[in-house]
Amino acid sequence: MMSSRVARTPASAPGREAVQTGFVAAWSLCVVFYFMQYALRSAPSVMMSELSAAFARDLVGVSALVGLYYYSYSLLSIVVGAALDRLGGRVVIPGGIVLVAAGAVLFGLGSVETAQIGRLLQGAGSACGFIGATYLATRGFPPRYLATAVGFTQCFGMLGGAAGQFAVGRLIHGVITWQKFWWMSGLGIFVIATLVLLATPKDHDGTRASQGSWMTMFTPYKEVLSNPQSYLCGFCAGLLFLPTTIGDMIWGIPFLHNGLHVGYAEAVNRASTVPLGWVIGCPLLGYLADRLGRRKPVLICGALLMFVSCAGVFFLPAGVAPPYVLGMLLGIGSGAAMLPYTVIKEVNSDNVKGSATGAINFLVFTFSACLTPLYGRLLAHIARGGAMDMAVFRAAGAWLVGGIAIAIVLAFFLRETGPRGRAAV
């Protein structure tokens, strides 16, 4: 059984050692889109007061509205992964990018109803970002570079996350209004959709899409979801994502401003160091995993760095650690969250790579979708109608730190899929 599974992995597929230029070019454009969609994902964190005034909701209500992104993102991840395996990237990816463009425009109209629809569209279309980029990277790069390519993909995404805080904060407080930011973003993303459509090779001959009913495109999930390793990958990555998707990109600035009493501009700068750390950590940890030929040791060490730095952010007395250091270390360690994306593709067959990425994205962002409103309610419950001060954030932050600890335990049960690990088996 083990030999048959290894024979179906990308490492043994013929003709996979050469770089496929067309797919690499399409991957590069998809990475640009991933940068943009991550900027839109994190941008609401720097305009919480403006959104609260425009939508007549408190911060907890705005965070719930912003969190709608993760509901459609997680659900559409399943559809996008299966659609990519059935129809190919040239059909699916540009369509998803157009949805994000439309969602950005709707969000900028300023009413609660259009903002809700816009945020759902942004999440639905964004599912094509990382899954599409990974799909193209799998076809464009040789297997020995796959973890590095996935790391660089997430690196650019988190660079967009940093820009969504650092740059957007300055834009909407002196250059343009927050509504114009969303409209201009929608226009730029539509241009990217056109370029991706033109650049993506036709990797399907048109016969595969017509075979069987539309429901058969979900058949690959039977293999992916019957593999216990797929769930371990999803749960481990999902828990490691929470300190950034919830802790930083939604509540990071309120934590620094209200909890640590840091000025608004300084809070934006400090919060943006976490995604900047990802810019370093994602390609670095991906490279180390490829260089060592092993995934688990790098994943566990990165998660341990996350645990220590996240605990330091919440529980060290103010002024003990230099500003920016703990946020940067948390971001670097968070690059470990991308390694399960590589592992899930390597523990499943070569012909279900899109579905494998869709499955892990569904599991990861279901965590964020469910826990974003719960974390806001937890903060409100602890505050009991009072101010959200440092004691409140510390009590809630303990749950994020505990999630990292659980992820470390789960990582020990993952199968080692690196080349040296497979050789040892």
Please tell me the CATH superfamily of domain 20-203+222-424, with its number.
Answer: MFS general substrate transporter like domains (1.20.1250.20)
How far is 8 from 215, CA to CA, in rounded Å?
Answer: 24
The band of 421, judged by pLDDT with boundaries at 50, 70 and 90, is: low
390-420 burial code (b ≥16 CB/10 A, e <16): bebbbebbeebbebbeebbebbeebbbbbbe
Q: Give me the percent of the chain exceeding a pLDDT of 90.
A: 28
Q: Under a CB-based contact definition with an 8 Å cutoff, are residues 42 and 330 in contact? A: no
170 C-beta neighbours (distance < 10 Å), count: 13
Nearest to 411 by CA among 313, 333, 356, 326: 333
Better pLDDT: 96 or 349: 96
What pLDDT is recorded for position 318?
Answer: 76
0.75 surpassed by pTM: no
Q: Give the mean pLDDT of 219-225.
A: 82
Question: Domain map of the chain by residue range?
Answer: 20-203+222-424
Is 246 in contact with 368 (CB distance < 8 Å)? yes
Residue 271 pLDDT more than 50?
Answer: yes
Instruction: For residue range 280-307, list pLDDT tens digits in order.
Output: 888 888 889 888 888 999 999 999 999 9
Interval 79-93 mean pLDDT = 81
> What is the per-residue pLDDT for 16?
53
Q: What is the mean pLDDT of residues 170-195?
A: 90
Segment 355-396, tens digit of pLDDT: 787 788 788 888 888 888 888 889 888 988 777 888 899 999
Q: For position 188, what pLDDT does the model report? A: 94
Which pLDDT band, with edges at 50, 70 and 90, does 213 fall under? low
Residues 6 or more apart in contact with residue 392 via CB below 8 angstroms: 259, 379, 382, 383
Give me the pLDDT at residue 11, please: 39
Looking at residue 5, what is its pLDDT? 36
| pLDDT of 161 higher than 60 | yes
Q: What is the token pair recorded at 53?
A: 């005034």
